[in-house]
Amino acid sequence: MEQDLHQVRRMDSIEKDKSLLIIPDGPTEKPVIVPPVYQFIAIEIISILYFGALVAMLPIQQFYVIDEVAKKYGEDDEKSNVDHCPKGPVFSNSTSNIVQAESANILMYLGFVSTFIAVIPILVFGSLTDRYGRKFPIYLSLVGILFKEIVMTVTVYKGLSFWFLALGEFFLGITGHFGLFQTATMGMIADITTPGKNRAIKIAVLEGTAAVSVAFSVLIIGFWIRDGNYKHPLIMCIACTVLSLILTLTLLSETAKTNKKKDTRICTKSVMCLFRCVQKWK
């Protein structure tokens, strides 16, 4: 009875913001005292920067592809010549309709590359967060979006074919896209809170701030690229991602305790499930 009361009091004390959380530091499992409120603030800031940069890339890529396709049917800023437009039941004689249709196909394929490939790392690396820690998938996701931003920036500056953007989408997908990042951050929230109201509130706040970041990112980038200026917004996206990496390295503490036997079994099941899906698809 006394032991149960002691455990209840201990759980209540953890829920307070001023409480301290024992977190393993590195492979030695040396305990480090980390205030959960500071950990939560660090997660919030990193999530805002990550989703802001990720969503900002969407309108930049969309309008860049549209501009590049439109150049095929006109001369830079001059009005397009409709004589170059193919005729048939699929396309109308309007250059605008042709540009929109071709751009939509390209953007569809680019989006498919990143989202389809992302299934593999989410299943594999997501199950390893308890073994190798929550920070590993966060690093992986940030590196992936950084590669995409670099590819996009080089493509814009050098005037390369927009099909080079598929390489950036591949990097984004193979590193888990935003799904792996969310898995890690939600796991961190679960690690620093106890089941109940406190955990639900913090998860809701995390999702809410991410949604606000997405909304403002789309709004700001929309006004920023109206005149066709893609270079400066891309530099800003790279800066946000690099800042996220620095904050993850310096402010964010590891929260997961390792359990290699259990996580090896989970990873094996994930890989086997993926293998069976591929066999059925064939």
Cα torsion 186, 60, 245, 136: sign:
positive
Which CATH number fits the domain that encloses residue 42?
A: 1.20.1250.20
Considering the domain boundaries, does residue 166 fall inside one?
yes
Distance CA 160, CA 155 (A): 5
How far is the CA of 167 from the CAs of 119, 144, 233, 274, in angstroms?
A: 17, 11, 20, 24
Judge whether 14 lies within some domain: no
Is residue 245 domain-resident? yes
Is residue 141 within 8 Å of residue 50, measured between CB atoms? yes
- Give me the number of domains the chain comprises: 1
Nearest to residue 253, comparing CAs of 91, 38, 77, 98? 38
State mean pLDDT over 165-193: 88
183, part of any domain = yes
* CA–CA distance, 64 with 228 (Å, rounded to integer): 8
Is the model's pTM score more than 0.85? no
Identify whether 3 is part of a domain. no
Q: Is the pLDDT at 202 greater than 60, yes or no?
A: yes
Cα–Cα distance measured from residue 23 to residue 133, given in angstroms and rounded to the nearest whole number? 11
Domain span including residue 52? 32-76+93-281
pLDDT in tens, 110-130: 989 888 888 888 888 777 777
Facing residues of 31 across strands? 24
Q: Which residue has the higher pLDDT, 48 or 4?
A: 48
> Other C-beta atoms within 10 Å of 46: how many?
23
Residue 280 one-letter amino acid = K
Q: Residue 173 falls within a domain, yes or no?
A: yes
Residue 271, pLDDT score: 45
* Maximum alpha-carbon separation in the chain: 88
Q: Is residue 201 part of a domain?
A: yes
In a domain, 133, yes or no: yes
At 86 the pLDDT is 47
E strand or H helix that includes residue 276: helix 260-281
